[in-house]
Amino acid sequence: MNIKKNYLSAVITLATLYCTAVFADNYQDNGVFLGHSYVKYQSVIDKVPDLADKMVKQYDCRYWFVNAGFMDAKGLFIKSSEELAKASQLLNTIADYEKAKDYHFKVLAWHNGNSRKTDISKPEVRQNIVNDCIKLVSSDVNGSFISGSKREFDGICLDMEPAGKDDVFFENFVLLFDEISKALDKDKIVSACTHKYGTQNAWQWYPEYYYRMAGSVDLIIAMTYNSGSNTDLEYQNWMDEQTKTILQSVSGKYWQDSNHPALNDNVKVMLGFPGYPPSKYHKPEFENIKNASLGVQKGLNKLNEDKQNLSHKYFLGAAVYLYTDGTGKDNYSSETTDWQQFRQFWLKP
């Protein structure tokens, strides 16, 4: 009896280790959303070398999505000289760190828009957005927002909300990304902030939207929070379902038909982890990084059980929203709680 028990215990232990280790490599390329102050105030940029050290050594966050600012109704960047006053200094500081440490971050300009005010069905509006994306990521073009910087942004992260439950808007949204991709240099990353999976309102995306968008971008960052969860398990299970549905939507496996052939898995998916103030649909005591980590791991392991389903290969890592100064005093991600959970439950599952 003891032999059987010991054997069973060993099998369970090995199975657990296998499941948690399968995706360990993916965890090395995580991301963080940084507040707008990182392109606006020198006092914040002065702290970037310390932040970079933490993101490399403690959190494995290679991808930085830096809040560059907002576009207006015409698709033009609002007050670029003021809102991006220190963008070049930020990039120079990062470049100096990278050279000293022989490390390269992926730093993307996170550009925001209100879909209800900016009509991207108009070609001239889309062209304004494309032109400003070029100015955000290229230091040597006329009117560049980062002129003279030692390094450039590695790409663009476009976030227009709401972007769901509207097929007409979505078709123009995909067209906009196609136009951005065509205009930028091939080495630039084109990424989309997308809604969570769902079919109920404009703040959710259908599976078809992920599949279509995946054909037009290099990276999808799904904003998997604001779930309204009221227990730990509820958010874990919600993240489990989000993980499986989004990844299978991107891969085409969601449908099991000939109309959704597998895409080149060069396109990758990040899932958003919450670190921001409470709201009607976000209760941090339940919807937090610990439960996000456990839910995503559960979903990834389930996908891996099906050897014919390669959807997990599209997964890149987690992206924490949002880092300001790391103290948590403003209710954004705290190094003593949120980021500690990130290390404990995500990097070391």
Give tens-digit pLDDT for 189-222.
Answer: 999 999 999 999 999 999 999 999 999 999 999 9
User: Does residue 184 contact residue 191 with C-beta atoms inside 8 Å?
Assistant: no
**Structural domains present in the chain:** 28-347 (3.20.20.80)
User: Does residue 221 contact residue 266 with C-beta atoms inside 8 Å?
Assistant: no
pLDDT value of position 231: 99
Spatial separation of the C-alpha atoms in residues 83 and 100, rounded to whole Å: 29
Asked if residue 283 has pLDDT above 50, the reply is yes
Q: What mean pLDDT comes out for the span 121-126?
A: 99
Separation in Å, CA 269 to CA 6, 104, 106, 191, 243: 40, 20, 15, 10, 10
Give the other-Cβ count within 10 Å of 151's Cβ.
19
Summarize pLDDT for 210-266 with one digit per residue, the tens. Answer: 999 999 999 999 999 999 999 999 999 999 999 999 999 999 999 999 999 998 779
- Of the pLDDT bands very low, low, confident and very high (cuts 50, 70, 90), residue 102 is very high
pLDDT value of position 10: 43
pLDDT value of position 28: 84
Spatial separation of the C-alpha atoms in residues 62 and 128, rounded to whole Å: 30
Element (H, E) at 66: strand 61-70
Summarize pLDDT for 141-195 with one digit per residue, the tens. Answer: 999 999 999 999 999 999 999 999 999 999 999 999 999 999 999 999 999 999 9
pLDDT value of position 221: 99
- Of the pLDDT bands very low, low, confident and very high (cuts 50, 70, 90), residue 20 is very low
Asked if residue 279 has pLDDT above 70, the reply is yes
Q: What mean pLDDT comes out for the span 16-41?
A: 74
Supply the mean pLDDT for the chain. Answer: 94
User: Does residue 222 contact residue 239 with C-beta atoms inside 8 Å?
Assistant: no
pLDDT value of position 349: 62
Summarize pLDDT for 304-336 with one digit per residue, the tens. Answer: 999 999 999 999 999 999 999 999 999 999 999
The structure tokens listed for 236 are 């874990």
Separation in Å, CA 326 to CA 124, 208, 336, 344: 40, 37, 8, 17
